[in-house]
């Protein structure tokens, strides 16, 4: 009996770099998965254009006016798409209880620094790299973790170290981390799809 491909839905607010890399890997036949939906809270997100060009269904779902209704609609849309996993690719909104409950231990995010020391509310983008350098750390990391009700709090499932060079700046560290993230997400999803990495529950 042939195993069904992993059905992955994506949430992106802007460019969706990891989303793009994952879709391209699926199209190349190197990841046994299917991109079943892209949802964005931003009607102008470039990720939407990429999705439409690659045949991935899209949904624009603003969240500010009525967060509770948006949360319920998101949970329903992900379920209707048959998503096995939900991947956050630069999604800049906190997820609500309906989505978190319905997809418990099935929502993945990538964080651009070591957790838990360099995570939490407000710790994103350049701020993380500035904090890592200010702390005098010998290395940073990209960490893929499960998403729960608290920012960057869910269990880490995969981690890749990013060594700091002499004279590292927030800008140079950001470039290294940003370059490493998409391939690491692809690699980790491959391990999940092949059954090499088991998620809780």
The structural domains of the chain, with segments of one domain joined by +, span: 6-193
Residue 51 CA, chain-centre distance (Å), reads: 16
CA distance 12 to 77: 15
For residue range 122-144, what is the model confidence (pLDDT) as tens digits?
A: 898 999 999 999 999 999 999 99
Q: What is the pLDDT of residue 2?
A: 46
Q: What's the CA gap between 155 and 21, in Å, rounded?
A: 24
Examine the residue annotation and report whether 54 is marked as an active-site residue of this protein. Answer: no
Burial of 86 (0-12, 13-18, 19+ CB in 10 A): buried
Strand positions, DSSP E, 12-67: 33-40, 58-60
Nearest to 89 by CA among 70, 107, 75, 109: 109
CATH for 6-193 is 3.40.50.170
Tell me: the pLDDT tens digits for 56-81?
999 999 999 999 999 999 999 999 99
Helix (H) or strand (E) holding 177: helix 170-193
Helix, strand, or coil here: 188?
helix
Average pLDDT across the chain, whole number: 95
- Mean of pLDDT values over 32-36: 97
Question: DSSP assignment of 91-156, as one string?
Answer: --SPPPHHHHHHTTT-EEEEESS-TTTT-STT--THHHHHHHHHTT-SEEEEEEEE--SSTT-SPE
Q: What pLDDT is recorded for position 3?
A: 67
For residues 184 and 18, give the distance between their C-alpha atoms in angstroms, rounded to a whole number: 9
pTM: 0.95
Q: Tokens 């999705």 label which residue?
A: 51
Q: Look at residues 186, 3, 10 and name the one whose alpha carbon lies nearest to residue 81.
A: 10
Q: Hey, is 62 helix, strand or coil?
A: coil
pLDDT digits (tens, 9 = 90+) for 140-182: 999 999 999 998 999 999 999 999 999 999 999 999 999 999 9
What percent of the chain lies above the pLDDT cut of 90? 93
């Amino acid at each position: 009996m042939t195993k069904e491909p992993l059905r992955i839905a994506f949430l992106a607010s802007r460019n969706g770099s990891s989303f793009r890399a994952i879709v391209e890997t699926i199209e190349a036949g190197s990841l046994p998965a299917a991109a079943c939906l892209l949802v964005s809270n931003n009607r102008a997100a470039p990720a939407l254009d990429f999705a439409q060009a690659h045949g991935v269904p899209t949904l624009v779902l603003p969240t500010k006016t009525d967060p509770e209704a948006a949360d319920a609609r998101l949970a329903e849309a992900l379920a209707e798409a048959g998503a096995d996993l939900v991947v956050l690719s630069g999604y800049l909104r906190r997820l609500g209880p309906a989505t978190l409950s319905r997809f418990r231990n099935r929502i993945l995010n990538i964080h651009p620094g070591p957790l838990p020391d360099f995570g939490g509310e407000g710790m994103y983008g350049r701020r993380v790299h500035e904090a890592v350098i200010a702390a005098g750390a010998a290395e940073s990391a990209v960490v893929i973790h499960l998403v729960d009700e608290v920012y960057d709090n869910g269990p880490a499932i995969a981690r890749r170290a990013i060594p700091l060079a002499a004279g590292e700046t927030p800008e140079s560290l950001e470039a290294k981390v940003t370059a490493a993230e998409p391939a690491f997400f692809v690699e980790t999803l491959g391990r999940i799809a092949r059954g090499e990495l088991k998620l809780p529950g």
